[in-house]
A = this chain, B = another copy of it.
Amino acid sequence: MKKFEEKTIHTEKIYDGEVVKLQVDDVTLPNGKNSKRELIKHPGAVGIIPITKDNKIVFVEQYRKPLEKSLVEIPAGKLETGEKPEITAVRELEEETGYTTNSLRFVASFYTSPGFADEIMYLYITDDIIPLEDEVAGDDDEFVELIELTLEEAIQYVKEQRIHDAKTNYAVLYLQTLERM
């Protein structure tokens, strides 16, 4: 859908980083006037909801520098260039939790902040996870701690805002709708 399309007149590239790129576009609005749009380019990301045999959800706690605090989240990570989200999902599961899986089910996808960023999040679930025999090396600047919670405990973590990000809040709400635990 192209309703109210904003045509680009000029793009100024501001920053080209490891995670994000920033550009400012001059655009023509539907009424013919001009405006500026600040745009973050992001490779996209994947989150995975791993469920253990005894119906616990596997989360990871990690420090989030933009917030200057740690959050409890489902395992997640950025897409590598050209990588299929399913591949990223299994890789991040292995790196962050030490589990792997052969069966993923797609849950949802959504843009996290469509007003200023093109980041898309793909969410998967698996209730068939197997501990890896050998540890998989993850990113060397990533420090995470595993936390396994029942759905009831996870709902409590949401209330306490220890779980407090879009993909994980969505995941907990989704599991409530499943009523499978």
B70 lies within 8 A of A2 (CB): yes
A143 lies within 8 A of B110 (CB): no
Tell whether A101 is near chain B: CB-to-CB under 8 Å: no
- On chain B, the residues within 8 Å of A61 by CB distance are 1, 3-4
Tell whether A64 is near chain B: CB-to-CB under 8 Å: yes
Contact of A6 among B17, B36, B63, B78 (CB under 8 A): B63
- On chain B, the residues within 8 Å of A166 by CB distance are 110-113, 121, 166-167, 170
Main secondary structure of the interface of A (DSSP, over half): mixed
In the complex, the count of this chain's copies comes to: 2
Tell whether A141 is near chain B: CB-to-CB under 8 Å: yes
- On chain B, the residues within 8 Å of A36 by CB distance are 18
The proximity string for A residues 158-174 relative to B, scoring 1 for CB distances below 8 Å and 0 otherwise, is 10011011111110011
Contact of A119 among B24, B113, B161 (CB under 8 A): B113
Task: Using CB atoms, name the residue of chain B closest to A117.
Answer: B66
A65 lies within 8 A of B40 (CB): no
Q: How far is the CA of A117 from the CA of B71 in the complex (A)?
A: 14
Task: For chain A, residues 21 to 71, give those with C-beta under 8 angstroms from any C-beta of chain B.
Answer: 22, 24-25, 27, 29-31, 33, 35-42, 45, 61-67, 69-71
**A residues whose Cβ falls under 8 Å from a Cβ of B:** 1-6, 14-15, 17-20, 22, 24-25, 27, 29-31, 33, 35-42, 45, 61-67, 69-71, 73, 76, 78, 108-119, 121, 140-141, 143-145, 158, 161-162, 164-170, 173-174, 176-177
